[in-house]
Amino acid sequence: MIRPTRRLVLGAAAAVLAAPAVRAQGSAIRIVVPFAPGGSTDAVARLVTPGLTQRLGVPVVVENRGGAAGSIGTDVVAKARPDGQTWLLTFDSHATLAALIPQLPFNPDRDLDPVMLIGGAPYVLASKPDKPFRNIQDVVDRAKAQPDGVSFGSTGNGTIGHLTMVLLQGKTNTRLTHLPYRSGGLAVNDTVAGHVDMMIGSAAVVNPHVQGGTLRTFAQFGPERLAGLSGMPTVSEAGFQGLEAEAWWGVFAPHGTPQDAVARMNAALKESLSDAQVRRTMEETQQARLVMSDPATLGTFVQREVAKWGAVVRENNIRAD
């Protein structure tokens, strides 16, 4: 057995004192993704963690805590110690939580501090190539001929994709069957398998399967045509006004997290996302429009999203799964 000598003990103590940042931050920083693995939020989180680990000097790990439209994982972060150890990387459904879940165990505005709006990607409708949909009018026509006979998947009740389809049904006086999933990845799997007629999801989560030929997109809900779908009109161009919808990813911290920690995370995220390979993956594979905002911009953006989509939730009496 090797016995510690006075020199070894003193050397170990010196090493601890020489690394205050690592000791202060603990063994790892966790990024909570409030959805199951496989969706675009999970993909974005795992894409940036290697760069964050390098730039922050400590391991950064992704923790998936899915369920209840993202509120379970978000609650974990809202109640976490504001010590820079725990962060939330979430999706657009964050803006609907307060309206969607009346007894929400936290206040999204009060209990979380904004860090960065990473960026967004337009929502698209996609189906197996052998499904009879070539444009959004095909969906409307079939739904009118077969009320409740056309199904669509989304990442859950009250998500922006689901709410967009609620608006579509209201504008066209149609009824579709909604199948909510816990993540975009699960919705994609069942759409590829043909268990659901189509799905609405971000271009980020759908694009790899479009590139692989297992899905075909036939409608895009962005304000302008996506570069990769330049030949496909937006829903507004197709005559369906008021249905613009973009997915987005944002990073938040427990309220009270020191501003210097927030600034460090914001800077590390920006540097990681600016890496040539990461940026290319975000823009080409994930079909994302990068923003990489400051904290205040995310705060203002979320307030607008809460007002817009919260109204849709309340007017249609929608509740979480």
Same structural domain for residues 129 and 263? no
Better-predicted residue by pLDDT, 84 or 36: 84
The first and second tokens of residue 127, run together, are 């189906």
Higher-confidence position of 184 and 97:
97
Say if residue 179 is in the same domain as residue 107: no
DSSP letter, residue 94: G
**Token pair in block for residue 318:** 């929608």
Give me the amino acid identity at 288: A
Q: Does 10 have pLDDT greater than 50?
A: no
* Residue predicted with more confidence, 321 or 70: 70
Radius of gyration in angstroms for the set of CA atoms belonging to the chain, rounded to a whole number: 22
Are 24 and 172 in a shared domain? no
Q: What is the pLDDT of residue 39?
A: 80
pTM to 2 decimal places: 0.82
Q: Are residues 224 and 126 in the same domain?
A: yes
Q: What would the mean pLDDT of 282-299 be, rounded to a whole number?
A: 92
Q: Is the pLDDT of residue 287 over 70?
A: yes
- Asked, for residue 310, whether it belongs to a domain, the answer is yes
114 and 22, same structural domain?
yes
Q: Are residues 29 and 85 both part of a single domain?
A: yes
pLDDT given for residue 26 in this prediction: 53
Number of domains in the chain: 2
Q: Using CA atoms, how far apart are residues 261 and 9, in angstroms rounded to an integer?
A: 32
Domain of residue 63, CATH code: 3.40.190.150
Q: Which residue has the higher pLDDT, 70 or 84?
A: 84
Condensed to tens digits (0 to 9), the pLDDT of residues 212-236 reads 999 999 999 998 888 878 888 999 9
The four Cα atoms 253, 83, 269, 50 give a dihedral, to 10 degrees, of -120
Per-residue pLDDT, averaged over 23-39, amounts to 79
Quote the CA–CA distance of 95 and 274 in Å, as a whole number.
26
Is 270 a residue whose pLDDT tops 90?
yes
For residue 306, being part of any structural domain is answered with yes
Q: Tell me which residue range forms the domain holding 302.
A: 16-121+247-315
Are 41 and 184 within one domain?
no
Contact status, residue 254 vs residue 86, Cβ threshold 8 Å: yes
